[in-house]
Amino acid sequence: MQLALAYRGRSAITQSTVGLAVSLAPNLRRDRVSFVGILRHPLRFREAVSALHDVVISDERFKPKDKRGYEEWKKQEKARETRIRSEAVKAKRAELQGELNKPIPVNLEKRFQRCRQRYWDARVKYSNLLSREDPQLWRLLMPCDPVITVSPDVLFFECFSADESSYGCLTVEREAFAAETDVALGTTNVDYSWRLYEHFQEIRSYRETRFAIDPLGFEVQTTPDVGSYREEKIDLPQSWLRGFATLQSAMSLPTRRVPVSREGVYAVLSFLKRHKAHASPRAVRFELKPGEPAAIVLEPWNQRIVLHTTPYTGPRAEVIRTWGRDRLRVLARLLPLIDGADVYLLGTGLPSFWVMRMGEMKLTLGLSGWTTNDWTSGGSAIDQLAPPIAPSADVMRGIAEAFRQQPAWALDALATKTRSSAPVVSAGLNKLALLGQVIHDLPHEVYRWRQVMPVTLSAEVIGPENPETAAARELTGRGVRITHDGVDAKGQRHVVATVEGRSTAELTLDADDRIVGGKCGCSYFYTGGLRKGPCRHLQAIRNTALGLAQPGGTLDSWYKRFTN
């Protein structure tokens, strides 16, 4: 998808006699969005937006390298450095002996600032060079500028990671600002750079911080300032766009909420920092029993962390395994500021959402499940979340009309407004979330209207659902008969089954329930094996073995899968 951006100037943080001013340059290709206010707790904002930055740049995909040339170069460099160091030590020792009694130069600070400015100018110049000469590499570091939405009661920033596996959303209540002016509701992109991140670190709690989505960027000029106005066209990867939309649709579904204290978050992060798993499984296992404290178990060590603060209030006992725990490290810098956390779970192998509560600010971290995601080929548990039946056009029109009247709705209130059942409305919201129109604000338990792109997205733009995944959803539970299910000495699970009465198919799952091997007699597997993703029969066997079946194929059964 081609995304056009236009900015007047750059986002920056400037210092004045009264404090700092955070000015974000909005995308001029979108409707006017502006906001000016003074942060009541700037330190919270600094740490939260820095954690959001860590989500954007996170890329934990494995990147194999040929190190033969590097090893040879390292030997040569070591010999050269040894020689240079020896000569430099002798020269510096002689120089220091001669300057023992000299005072500190009066212009040392100016020289430091001048050198620092040269470094940042070179860094910005290199970034601009990459954006012109190698947009693919440049956008690997920053795939898309963050999206900010100004709502009547909150502001929230959204981003998606470079490796297409993590989603971040910082929600700031309007009460966190004083002396609000120039408020224009809506959604827009804001100019973002690595230099701006460095400037965020200058925010302090002892001085006033003025936050602004610059309203001057929309002023019409008779003679535009060519130097400050710039346009940019980004070719968003298909997998990036579909991954963002898929995680949004997953977040729109009913979830199990597990409260976690600050001590519980610390226990998880500290243990993961001190230990590294060298073999599967690498899941975070939630053991939930109604009326009892929930427990988090870190595999493969089976390290058990009991959350004594609040008993679990869910409807039934169950065990849910989630993945992607290495990406929780971005939350470490928030530990001194959080009041507590909530984890929202969909089910085993499905996305999980960690919400850090910091007073009037909340940071939501969404984890897709596995670090390496191929959002266009299917084959993961998240691809089985779609409703089995599309909601009617009348229901979709009713939901859209309700959001035109009011930008935020709770699910029950929206069902009453549209005179539809909760499963039907939930399916409609899921579709709108997949198209980038709606976001589920988990901390406030409401759905908000938000257009993530300046143009209305369609299924063709996001990309059609993988046909093998759609067909597997129809086969799951009905046309699958498992004849063998066992685990070998390596911990791999082997499942043998017949699908639709055809020849036997075999499936191998690793300890993290990922498909690592299989055998099927269909034409799709014969021509591509697992290179293009597993066939519908292997996906159906995996879904049945993991209990992802959707009996009946109705919206009621689909909805109960997440609520019961």
Which residues are bridge partners to 362 per DSSP? 171, 357
**Maximum mean pLDDT: which of 6-10, 360-364, 374-378, 524-528:** 360-364
- Higher pLDDT: 382 or 8? It is 8
Which residues are bridge partners to 13 per DSSP? 22
Q: Which of 462, 479, 502 is the last residue of a domain?
A: 462
What would the mean pLDDT of 451-463 be, rounded to a whole number?
Answer: 74
Q: Is residue 404 part of a domain?
A: yes
Q: Is residue 39 part of a domain?
A: yes
**Does one domain contain both 480 and 444?**
no
Of 191-195, 218-222, 251-255, 472-476, the least confident: 218-222
Q: Which of 342, 373, 404 is the last residue of a domain?
A: 373
pLDDT at residue 218, rounded to an integer: 45
**Does one domain contain both 31 and 180?**
yes
- Higher pLDDT: 410 or 102? It is 410
CB 202 within 8 A of CB 44: no
Which residues are bridge partners to 446 per DSSP? 441
Characterize 339-359 residue by residue with b for buried, 16 or more Cβ atoms within 10 angstroms of its Cβ, and e for exposed: ebbbbbbbbbbbbbbbbbbbe
What would the mean pLDDT of 499-521 be, rounded to a whole number?
Answer: 83
Please report, for the domain that includes residue 317, its CATH number: 3.10.150.10
Q: Are strands 166-173 and 361-367 parallel, antiparallel or unpaired?
A: antiparallel
Please report, for the domain that includes residue 419, its CATH number: 1.10.10.10
DSSP result, 304-322:
EEEEEEEE---SS-EEEEE
pLDDT band at residue 221, thresholds of 50, 70 and 90? very low
pLDDT at residue 257, rounded to an integer: 92
Q: Are strands 352-358 and 438-441 parallel, antiparallel or unpaired?
A: unpaired
- Higher pLDDT: 357 or 324? It is 357
**Does one domain contain both 256 and 206?**
no
pLDDT at residue 150, rounded to an integer: 92
Q: Which of 345, 373, 401 is the last residue of a domain?
A: 373
pLDDT band at residue 381, thresholds of 50, 70 and 90? low
Find, among 17, 37, 38, 28, the residue nearest to 216 by Cα.
28
d(CA 387, CA 93): 73
Query: What does the block give as tokens for 15?
Result: 């210092």
Angle of helix 422-434 versus helix 238-251 axis, rounded to 10: 160
CB 284 within 8 A of CB 294: no
Q: Are strands 438-441 and 408-409 parallel, antiparallel or unpaired?
A: unpaired
Peptide bond just before 143 cis, omega within 30 deg: no
Of 59-73, 293-307, 389-403, the least confident: 59-73
Is the pLDDT at 373 greater than 60, yes or no?
no
pLDDT band at residue 232, thresholds of 50, 70 and 90? low
Residue % of the chain over a pLDDT of 70 = 86
Is the pLDDT at 372 greater than 60, yes or no?
no
pLDDT at residue 116, rounded to an integer: 77
d(CA 217, CA 182): 12
Is the pLDDT at 371 greater than 60, yes or no?
no
Query: What does the block give as tokens for 535?
Result: 């066939």
pLDDT at residue 434, rounded to an integer: 87
**Does one domain contain both 255 and 364?**
yes
Query: What does the block give as tokens for 140?
Result: 């690997």
Average predicted confidence (pLDDT) for the chain: 82
**Does one domain contain both 471 and 458?**
no
Tell me which residue range forms the domain holding 350: 241-373
**Does one domain contain both 208 and 268?**
no
**Does one domain contain both 311 and 357?**
yes
d(CA 195, CA 29): 23
CB 254 within 8 A of CB 35: no
Is the pLDDT at 234 greater than 70, yes or no?
no
**Does one domain contain both 444 and 496?**
no
**Does one domain contain both 49 and 182?**
yes
CA distances from 29 to 92, 155, 182 (A): 56, 20, 19
Q: Express each pLDDT in 127-171 by its tens digit.
A: 777 766 765 555 555 556 688 899 999 999 988 887 778 889 999
Q: Is residue 548 part of a domain?
A: yes
- Higher pLDDT: 449 or 350? It is 449
pLDDT band at residue 442, thresholds of 50, 70 and 90? very high
Q: Is residue 129 part of a domain?
A: no
d(CA 419, CA 378): 35
DSSP result, 507-540:
EEE-TTS-EEEEE--SHHHHHHTTTT---HHHHH
Q: Is residue 95 part of a domain?
A: no
Query: What does the block give as tokens for 243?
Result: 């991954």
Query: What does the block give as tokens for 431?
Result: 């579709």
**Does one domain contain both 504 and 443?**
no
pLDDT band at residue 297, thresholds of 50, 70 and 90? very high
Q: Express each pLDDT in 116-125 by its tens digit.
A: 788 877 877 7
Q: Is residue 272 part of a domain?
A: yes
d(CA 190, CA 324): 28
pLDDT at residue 324, rounded to an integer: 86
Domain total of the chain: 4
What would the mean pLDDT of 543-550 be, rounded to a whole number?
Answer: 73
**Does one domain contain both 315 and 425?**
no
d(CA 532, CA 323): 23
**Does one domain contain both 250 and 356?**
yes
Q: Express each pLDDT in 412-430 by its tens digit.
A: 999 999 999 999 999 999 9
d(CA 510, CA 23): 49
Peptide bond just before 300 cis, omega within 30 deg: yes
Q: Is residue 456 part of a domain?
A: yes
Query: What does the block give as tokens for 415?
Result: 């069902």
Q: Is residue 357 part of a domain?
A: yes
